[in-house]
Structure 1
Amino acid sequence: MIKNKWKIGFFILLGVMAAAILLIWILIASPVEESKLEPGTNGSGTNDVAFNVSTNKRDLNRVINHYLEEEAKNSQMDYQVLLTDEVELYGTLPLFSQELELKLTFEPQALKNGDLILKQRSISVGKLNLPVSTVLKFVRDSYDLPDAVNIQPKEERVYVSMHRLKLKSDIKVRVNEFDLKKDNIKFTLLVPAD
């Protein structure tokens, strides 16, 4: 009878060990459970990844002027932007055999769709102040500006369509805030994730 108890105990222990090994094997061989978090969108219906950026006038001046240099390589117009309490655009206009100095000042306004409106404050050629709509029409008709820049002489403004700016790697920009007086400039970079 003692032999049977040991025999029964041995087979029970062997069965428990076999069940444990089988359970461990099932757990190891089972596929990994995937996360319930699915890749989403940024709210705009695209798979772009949004990065919120806050900057200041000095740094943005450098970026804007670098971009303008790249865009102006094939253009006859030489211009640069300076952000102060307003947006100031300085350039030269070729007229006959002379280069005339040009200064345009704008008040920026960020739109809810991420674009930017530059409301014209003043235009001067040399020291002569000129009618805003006339000069804007001349600039629009005479110069090859980036596709994202739409000059609207009747409204005395420039509409900058940020989503049409051609940036490297198809990155898009949305302006959130553009308060130059407080040096508060915020925008979102939308980076394609596909």
Structure 2
Amino acid sequence: MSDRKQRLSIRNRWKKLFYGLLAINIVIMISLLLLIFWPVSENEFPNTADQTEQEGSEFVIRTTKQNLNDLVNAYIEKSLGNSNHHYRISLEDDVHLIGELPVFSTAVPLSVHLEPLVQENGDLILKQKSISVGLLELPNQKIMEYMDKYLPMPEWVTINPEDQEIYVAVTEMDLQSNLVVAVQTIDLEANNLAFKLRVPYETLGIDMLSD
């Protein structure tokens, strides 16, 4: 083969390679454009309209009896202020309320053991197990009436003497940043305590799209 024919053969080979690569690039570009602009079926991707209807995100927080005990008593101490009637909580195998009550012109020691019962809405009922005021023998209902009268409680805590229980509306607590707390699990014997914390998007400065 002459040098001229050999050069033509090499040139033709390079042309074929060039056009082949050009065709591949064109196919790739067309495929990318189709992926970008092709209408998407609703079944292939989640509907973002459903996601924007959510007003917040929910997290589960797990803690221990000691941590919760310290938090509750710090809250009680702050809320009581200069009150003459003080009490505290001790989380043991149950909820132990310890304090004093004015009975017959004197203050007598109060001891109440309560069983925590988690409600479906995330609130808590503390069901009375045993109760005493010093050495006095008084009906349980009467003691809880004294508690309701003399022990300062937050607005979201209600003492029900007739049912011998305390209703703790955890979900109605007034927290900063509009956070919402709900009880998920309280197993004091197993030291298994879990709470759900709901964080509104607007708290984080996130504006959700309206329909």
Smaller-chain TM-score bracket: 0.7 to 0.9
Shift of 1:153: 1.0
Aligned AA for 2:51?
G
* Alignment-derived partner of residue 15 in structure 2: none
Separation in 1, partners of 2:54, 2:137? 46
In structure 2, stretches of 5+ residues that fail to align are 1-28, 34-45, 203-211
Aligned AA for 1:167?
L
Seen in structure 2, the aligned counterparts of structure 1 residues 72 and 40 have a Cα distance that, compared at 3 Å, is farther
* Alignment-derived partner of residue 11 in structure 1: none
Aligned AA for 1:73?
G
* Alignment-derived partner of residue 88 in structure 2: 80
* Alignment-derived partner of residue 131 in structure 2: 123
Shift of 1:101: 1.5
Percent identity (aligned): 36
* Alignment-derived partner of residue 6 in structure 1: none
Mapping 1:1-194, distance limit 5 Å:
37=48, 40=51, 47-73=55-81, 75-95=83-103, 98-128=106-136, 130-194=138-202
Task: Return the index of the structure with the highest Cα Rg.
Answer: 2
Aligned AA for 1:144?
P
Instruction: Report if the CA contact (8 A) 1:123-1:131 is conserved.
Output: no
Per the alignment, in what secondary structure is the counterpart of residue 40 of structure 1? helix
Separation in 2, partners of 1:87, 1:188? 20
Separation in 1, partners of 2:199, 2:138? 41
Greater helix proportion: 2
Instruction: Report if the CA contact (8 A) 1:149-1:160 is conserved.
Output: yes
TM-score, with length taken from structure 2: 0.67
In structure 1, stretches of 5+ residues that fail to align are 1-22, 28-34
Per the alignment, in what secondary structure is the counterpart of residue 188 of structure 1? strand
Seen in structure 2, the aligned counterparts of structure 1 residues 46 and 37 have a Cα distance that, compared at 3 Å, is closer
Separation in 2, partners of 1:163, 1:84? 23
